[in-house]
Chains A and B, each alone.
Chain A
Amino acid sequence: MRKFVWFVRFALAAVLCLPGVASAAEELVNSAKYQKAPPYVVGLSNVSPSNAFKVAMVEEFKAVCEERKDLIKAYYITDAGGQIAKQISDIEDLIARKVDILLVTAASPTAISPVVEKAVEAGILVVTFDNLVETDKVTIRVEANESGIGTQNMEWLAKKIGGKGKIVMLGGIKGTSSAQLRWDGALAVLKKYPDIEVVGEAWVNWAFDKGKAAMESFLAANPVIDGVWTDGGGSAQGALTAMIEAGRVVPIVGTASNGFAKIWSKLKAESGFEAYCATNPPYCSVLALNFALDVMAGKPVQRHIRTDLAIMDNGNVDVLVRPDFSDMFWVDTLLSDEKNKELWGSK
Chain B
Amino acid sequence: MKRSLMKENFRKERFRNERLRGALLTPSAPIFFITAVILLTALAASESFRSPYNLNNVIIQTAALGLVSLGQSFAILAGDVDLCVGGVISIVTVTAALLMKDPPSSIILTAALGLLIGVAVGVVNGVLTSLIRIDAMVTTFASNSVLLGLALWLMESPGGSVPYVWMKLPDAKIGFIPVPLLILAAFAAASWFILDRTAAGFHIRAVGGGEQSAFTSGVNIMKTKIAAHAAGGFFAALAGLYLSARMGSGDALSGVPFSLDSMTAVIAGGTNFSTGVGSVLGTTAAAFLITGLGNIFNHMGVSTYWQYVLKGVLLVIAVTAAALRTRFAERGSGG
Contacts and interface: CB of A to CB of B under 8 A. Distances in A.
Contacts of B158: 108-111, 175, 177
A89 B294 contact: yes
B318 to A, nearest CB: 19
A93 B299 contact: yes
Nearest to B296: A93
A319 to B, nearest CB: 33
Given A79-B304, A93-B54, A111 B295 contact: no
A108 B251 contact: yes
A175 B156 contact: yes
B304 A96 contact: no
Contacts of A76: 298, 301
Interface string A57-89: 000000000000000000011110111111011
A108 B254 contact: yes
B139 interface: no
B48 A85 contact: no
Q: Which of A76, A85, A110, A115 has the most CB of B within 10 A?
A: A85
A97 interface: yes
A268 interface: no
A108 B157 CA distance: 9
Contacts of A83: 256-257
A230 interface: no
A111 B299 contact: no
Contact of A111 (B251, B258, B303, B304): B251
Given A85-B257, A89-B57, A77 B304 contact: yes
B324 interface: no
Interface stretch (B20-28, B187-195, B242-250): B242-250
B53 A96 contact: yes
Nearest to A180: B157
B159 interface: yes
Nearest to B89: A85
Interface in B117-169: 152, 156-161, 167
B267 to A, nearest CB: 20
B248 A110 contact: yes
A96 B251 contact: no
Contact of A96 (B54, B246, B247, B252): B54
A46 B60 CA distance: 21
Contacts of B247: 84, 88, 108, 110-114
Nearest to A97: B48
Interface residues of B, number: 42
B241 interface: no
A90 interface: yes
A89 to B, nearest CB: 4
Nearest to A43: B298
A94 interface: yes
A108 B294 CA distance: 19
B291 interface: yes
Contacts of B305: 49
B51 interface: yes
B253 interface: yes
A92 interface: yes
Contacts of B53: 95-96
Contacts of A97: 48, 298-299
Interface residues of A, number: 35
A92 B57 contact: yes
A83 B53 CA distance: 23
B249 A175 contact: no
Contacts of A78: 298, 304
B279 interface: no
Contact of B294 (A86, A110, A113): A86
B253 A175 contact: yes
A192 interface: no
B160 A92 contact: no
Q: Which of B161, B243, B251, B308 has the most CB of A within 10 A?
A: B251
A104 B243 CA distance: 20
B64 interface: yes
Contacts of B257: 81-83, 85-86
Interface in B281-335: 291, 294-295, 298-299, 301, 303-305, 307-308
Interface in B58-83: 60-61, 64-65
B253 A96 contact: no
Nearest to A75: B301
Given A92-B57, A108-B254, A49 B304 contact: yes
Given A111-B254, A175-B253, A85 B246 contact: yes
A92 B60 contact: yes
A1 to B, nearest CB: 29
B95 to A, nearest CB: 15
B168 to A, nearest CB: 9
B215 to A, nearest CB: 40
Given A93-B54, A111-B248, A175-B253, A85 B243 contact: yes
A98 interface: yes
Nearest to B257: A83
Contact of A175 (B48, B160, B167, B252): B252
Contacts of B301: 76
Contacts of A96: 48-49, 51, 53-54, 57, 299
13 contacts: A78-B304, A85-B254, A85-B258, A86-B257, A89-B57, A93-B298, A93-B299, A97-B299, A110-B160, A174-B152, A175-B156, A175-B252, A180-B156
Given A89-B295, A90-B298, A108-B251, 11 more contacts: A82-B257, A85-B64, A86-B294, A89-B57, A89-B291, A89-B298, A92-B60, A108-B249, A110-B158, A111-B249, A113-B248
Interface of B: 48-49, 51, 53-54, 57, 60-61, 64-65, 152, 156-161, 167, 243, 246-254, 256-258, 291, 294-295, 298-299, 301, 303-305, 307-308
Q: Rank and list the top 4 A-B pairs by shortest CB-CB distance, nearest first.
A: A111-B247, A79-B304, A110-B249, A93-B298
